[in-house]
Amino acid sequence: MKKLSALLVMLALTLSCFSPFALAEDAATVTFWLDDMTDARMAMVEKIIASFEASHPNIKVDFTGLPEDASDKLMLAFEAGTAPDILNITSKNIATYIENGYVSDLTELYAQKGNDAILSSAIESACAYDRENSRLYYLPSGCNFFCLWARSDWFEEMGLSMPVTWDEFFADVEALTEKDAGRYGIALRGGKGAATNLEMLMYSYSGITHYFTEEGVCTVNDPKHVDFVDRYLSLYNVCSGEGDINFGWSQLAGAFQTGVAAIIQHNTGSADAHYDAFNGDLSKFAALPFPKSVEGTRVMQSLSWDGFAINETAKDKEAAWEFLYFLCAGEGAAIYTENIGLVPCVNELLTSEDSYVQSPDKPWMQTAAEVITSPDTLFYDCPTYMPSYSGVLSNEIDPMVQQAMAGEISAQELLDYWAETMTAMYAEEGK
């Protein structure tokens, strides 16, 4: 009986060597936080982690899902030395994290992978946040592609083609407006986010690709921008509703989805909401690239790629890197970006016929992929790398856009103040 017991013990030990749990005691643990979590997103992250741990039995991922924005919580955790090994990155926080030395330099680690998995422009965009050395401090995962959402059924009813130039855009907005019927050619964003959205459109119109001149002077008040803003904001309460002056995203979506507005500006992140509102009828709505500039080029804001970084104080950076790469460039990338609704930056996902990006059920993804990967698309260098940039637009410029819509100040006055403010900021933060 004793011999049998001994044999069973030896057999159990032998079998454990082949078990994926054999390394559990020696496994590295990687801590990972992600905010704005819902039940669906929790299930999505658990799927990614399960897939990763199955192929990396020597690494365990300890995940914490947070129900809301965790920016403040993360800053406190960094200061207390309790921040996670892997954290999500946006354009609003990466410059601060780099400046404070909170995140690891990933340049060499990514170079060892061959530098071909992720779209090169996405890597360049991520490196731009390191103003001194252009080092890579986070891996991009995906972005929300900014576009015009159009009621394609209205265009068809009116016999109109989708606008390719800005002149066609303004003509279409006027033609689609039937004020007596409560239908407008466009809904304008006058509330929170007004300045950010207006900036994208004016650079798309002008074709200018540099936010600052070589001398550090902001180009926001270029004459082409003044002409555009004057023309665009004059649509307010003529080809748009009177309430637009206070519209944020939710009001724009409501106007578009309930048959009040033919065109709104947003991004591909709202696709699912439109899809649900129109009961999956893809003939009723479409994502359009911004029209071509007066120079004949297509210009977009430099894409703000969300992604993930490694805490500089992570105990096992090798293990953290394995999970980070899996999440952003490996098998986890497709799961994450599709579920979040982001346009991926992984080359294979953007171009493969088998990718969800090319699905006929998601034509907006195809539009985004075509524009992002086109060699003819130009990007202006939006200064999201300046820590104060977003706050100034929100706190100072947004209210001035409302003033311009109301006719209290001119487009020239709005853009002159905007340019002067950014030029001063660039002298302090941009270099």
Question: 358-411 pLDDT, tens per residue?
Answer: 999 999 999 999 999 998 999 999 998 888 898 999 999 999 999 999 999 999
Question: 163-190 pLDDT, tens per residue?
Answer: 999 999 999 999 999 999 999 999 999 9
- Which residues have C-beta within 8 Å of that of residue 258, sequence separation ≥ 6? none
User: Quick check: helix, strand or coil at residue 400?
Assistant: helix
Q: What are the φ/ψ torsions at residue 265 (nearest 5 degrees)? A: -110, 130
196, pLDDT greater than 90 = yes
11, pLDDT greater than 60 = no
Question: 121-150 pLDDT, tens per residue?
Answer: 899 989 988 988 999 999 999 998 999 999
- pLDDT at residue 224, as a whole number: 98
Q: Measure the CA–CA gap between 427 and 431, rounded to whole angstroms.
A: 7
Look at the block and give the residue holding tokens 């106007």.
255
Confidence of residue 3 (pLDDT cuts 50, 70, 90): very low
Q: Please give the C-alpha separations between residue 168 and each of 163, 165, 172, 232, 291, in angstroms, as whole numbers.
A: 5, 5, 6, 13, 9
- pLDDT at residue 6, as a whole number: 41
Average pLDDT, the chain: 91
Q: Measure the CA–CA gap between 172 and 147, rounded to whole angstroms.
A: 16
Q: Give 273-300 as a 3 state SS string.
A: HHHHHCCCCCCCCEEECCCECCCCCEEE
Query: In the sheet where 286-288 sits, what is the strand order?
Result: 263-267, 146-150, 286-288
Report the percentage of the chain scoring pLDDT > 90: 81
Report the percentage of the chain scoring pLDDT > 70: 94
- pLDDT at residue 300, as a whole number: 93
Q: Mean of the pLDDT values across residues 213-234?
A: 98
250, pLDDT greater than 50 = yes
Confidence of residue 7 (pLDDT cuts 50, 70, 90): very low
Choose among 107, 147, 99, 156: nearest CA to 127.
107
For the ranges 18-22, 204-208, 259-263, 382-386, the lowest mean pLDDT is seen at: 18-22
- pLDDT at residue 425, as a whole number: 96
- pLDDT at residue 384, as a whole number: 86
116, pLDDT greater than 90 = no
Of the two residues 26 and 111, the one the predictor is more confident about is 111
- pLDDT at residue 177, as a whole number: 98
- pLDDT at residue 246, as a whole number: 97
User: Quick check: helix, strand or coil at residue 258?
Assistant: coil
- pLDDT at residue 25, as a whole number: 52
Question: 52-90 pLDDT, tens per residue?
Answer: 999 999 999 999 999 888 888 999 999 999 999 999 988
> Can you give the length of the chain in residues?
431
- pLDDT at residue 15, as a whole number: 34
